[in-house]
Amino acid sequence: MKDILHPICLIIAGLGFLLLLRDLKKNSRDAALILLSLVYLSSALSFAISITPIWIRIDSTLGVTNIAVPLAQSCVILVLVFQTSVLAHWALPAPEARRRTRLFGLAGLAVIVGMFVLFAFLTPAVQRTSDFATYYVNDPAYKAYLALYMAAYTAAEIYLGVVCWRHARHAGNVWVVRGLRTITIGAVVIMGYCAIRIGGILGDSFGFSVARFKDIAWFCGDVGALLTLIGYFLPTLMERVEGVRSWTRSHYALWRLEPLWRALHAVAPTIALMPPPSQLQELVRFRSVSFLLYRRVTEIRDGMIELRPYLDPQVRAIAETRLTGQGLQDPELAAAVTAEQISQAISSLTHGQDFPEPAEYADARISIATTEEDMQAQLRIAAHFTPPAVSTPTAQHPARSASRAGDE
């Protein structure tokens, strides 16, 4: 059973650690993030050491039979130390969190030292990987060893379960709540492992055996540990998912706004202070285009301001009547009318024809309070926009000035 579950848990723990390394490079002083990374690293080591071929190789390399047992279980103790410390840094002020981290660390160190001391008193035996616990069940030194290990393990899981469930009731982020509750469920499942191992200690004194439950013990231990790892990583994972969604939306929005921006830039090149980078290159390099998108939204609005003197009032009136008859309503109606106004204004500018009393853009009646709302409004406009047939300017503002000078 363990040789099936351990590799799965090893993969999950290893992936979690690797995914956190990127954040760790950016936030190398974030104590909670460092401790969370150590949770996954220690967990991966504990599962790796417990896989039978690795277990045997460690024993043969170090020359000590079954030395992999205290090594793997020491990693588990470290996991518990780091898990409880992460919760302290998440829930408590920094000074108190550091104090508790030191206490958890000292307690974990004491348990690990005690385990190695007791392991040294075990009766020498042949190599054991699958039934180590049941083989040594009658050994007094092993009873003390296991009692120490399980006392620490059980106390830590009870602490994690209670604290996480309590914090989940007050957390505001839904994924944090789900993560904390998943940790609690994992801690409860692990208690099945603890119960069977404790039963192994008591069974010798009270005349019963739990040997037939060893597969259930491994199942509870590995599944509970897996749920705990998922619970800790769930908020970070969903943050990553949201980051991917945001990255995708930004690239898609930038691509959708491209035709509208190019049409405006062709007649008003001054709206762009610098040439924009290639979106394809940014896409291939998996770079964010949030700033480029912000620039594009701003430049489109600047271009619309440049076109303002060329807005024919009749074009707006005719377009609103026609599109209203087609069943369009705001904000889609305002966007469609504005798209036609922009197309007409570009054509008028290229011919040097402005209007003494230009129209307002139809979308001016749509309330826009944030850049995000402005982007959505422009995406609606871009969906209806068709560049005019004549797009090469023969005269821009100089023509407009010369026309006005002649009138005067």
Instruction: Give the span between the Cα atoms of 99 and 83, in whole angstroms.
Output: 15
What residue spans define the domains of the chain?
2-244, 268-407
Closest CA to 48 of 68, 65, 31: 68
Phi-psi region of 2 (alpha: psi -120 to 50; beta: other; left: phi over 0): alpha
pTM for the structure as a whole: 0.68
Query: What pLDDT score does 382 carry?
Result: 92
For 344, other C-beta atoms within 10 Å of its C-beta total 20
Count of CB atoms within 10 A of residue 95's CB?
Answer: 8
Return the SS3 of 112: helix
Predicted local distance difference test score (pLDDT) of residue 132: 59
**pLDDT < 50 positions in the chain:** 129, 391-408
- In the numeric block, which tokens belong to residue 122? 């075990």
Q: Report d(CA 385, CA 256) in Å as an integer.
A: 11
As a dihedral over the C-alpha atoms of residue 158, residue 159, residue 165, residue 167, rounded to 10 degrees, the angle is 180
Which pLDDT does position 135 carry in this prediction?
57
The residue among 377, 376, 312, 382 whose CA lies nearest residue 345 is 312
Q: What is the reported pLDDT for 113?
A: 96
**CATH class of this structure's domain 2-244:** mainly alpha
Say what the pLDDT of residue 379 is.
Answer: 93
Question: What is the residue type of 34?
Answer: I
Amino acid at 271: I
